[in-house]
Structure 1
Amino acid sequence: MSAEPTPAPRPRVIGIATAAMCALAGGALWCLLSLYSRGDLAALAFVVALPVIWTLRRHGYAGRWSGALVAGACVALAALYSFYLQAVAQIAGMLGLPMRDALLRMDPGMAIDIARANVGVGSAALVAAAIVFACALVKRA
C-alpha cells in the first residue's frame, strides 16, 4: 500500500499575484464592454470580484483579514483600471488617435480627472458595494 504524497501548499504570494492579474484582466474586459454599451457598467465590479474571491480562497486566504484586504484592493484596482481606460478611450475618440497613442501621450492626472468626472454617485456606490462583497466573502471561513 503506497501512501499518496501530500500536495505542497500553494505559496500565498502566487495567490496575490493571480488575484491582481484577474482584477486587471477583469478591468480591461469591463472597459471593453462599457465602451460597446456606451455606459460605465459599474455592476460588473461584482462579476470581476468573483474570480478574485475564488483565487484568494483557493490560496489559503479564506477567513483571514489579510485576504479580505487584498480582495478589496483587487476589486478597487479593477474599477480604477477600467475607469482609467474608459477615460483614455474617450480622449482617443475625441482626438482621433489610436487608443495606444492616447495612452502613451496622455498625462495620467488628466485621465484620472476625466474618469472622476464620468463616475457618478450610483456607480461609485456599486463599486464600493462590490468591494465590501469581496471582503466579506474572503473573510468568511
Structure 2
Amino acid sequence: MNAASATPRLFGLAVALMYALAGGAIWCLLSLYSRGDLAGFSFLVALAVVWQLRGNGYAGRWSGALIAAFCVALASAYSFYLQAVAQVAAMLGLPMRAALLQMEPGMALAIARANFSGWSAVVVILAVLFAAGATGFTPARDRAA
C-alpha cells in the first residue's frame, strides 16, 4: 500500500471512529429525551459508519468489516455508559458532568451492563453484524472486475 492509497483509508478510519462517538452521544441524548434505550438507533450509526468506510476504500475487506463492527460496538458502549451516568446523576440530583467525574467507572459499567440486556442486546448485536456484513460485502459485479 502506497502513501496515496493509505491517506483515504486513514481518513476513513478516523471519521468512522468520530461517527461512532458522535452517534453514541446523540443516541444517549435521544434516549434520555424519550426515556427509553432506543437500541434501534444502533442501525443508524451502523449505516453512517458503513457509508464512511465503504467510501474510503474498506469495501469488501475483512479489515473494513472488523472496523465497522468495532465502531458500532463502541457507539453502543459509549451510549449505554453515558445513559448510566445520566441515571446516577438524576438519582443524586447532580449535573451529569459532576456525576461523571465523581462516580467510579465500575459502577457506571455495571449499570450499563444491566441496561444492555434482552431485546436491546439483540438489536445492538444485529446492528454490529449488519455493519460488518455491509462493509465486508462486495457485489458480484465488482468481484468480476
TM over 0.5: yes
Partner in structure 2 of residue 113 of structure 1: 110
Kindly provide the CA deviation profile for residues 51-101 of structure 1, in whole angstroms up to 9, marking residues without a partner as x.
Answer: 100110011000000000000000000000000000000000011110011
Instruction: Supply the AA of the counterpart residue of 1:82.
Output: S
Q: SS at the partner of 2:39? A: coil
CA shift for structure 1 position 119:
2.0
Q: Tell me the matched-pair count.
A: 134
TM-score (norm 2): 0.89
Q: Which runs of 5+ in 2 are unaligned?
A: 139-145
Kindly provide the CA deviation profile for residues 107-139 of structure 1, in whole angstroms up to 9, marking residues without a partner as x.
Answer: 111000011112221100000000000001001
Instruction: Supply the AA of the counterpart residue of 1:98.
Output: P
TM-score (norm 1): 0.92
Query: Between the two proteins, what is the percent identity of the paired residues?
Result: 65
Aligned partner of 2:86 among 63, 69, 89:
89
Q: SS at the partner of 1:115? A: helix
Higher helix share: 2
Q: Which runs of 5+ in 1 are unaligned?
A: 1-7
The structure 1 segments of at least 4 consecutive aligned residues displaced by more than 6 Å after TM superposition are: none
RMSD: 1.0
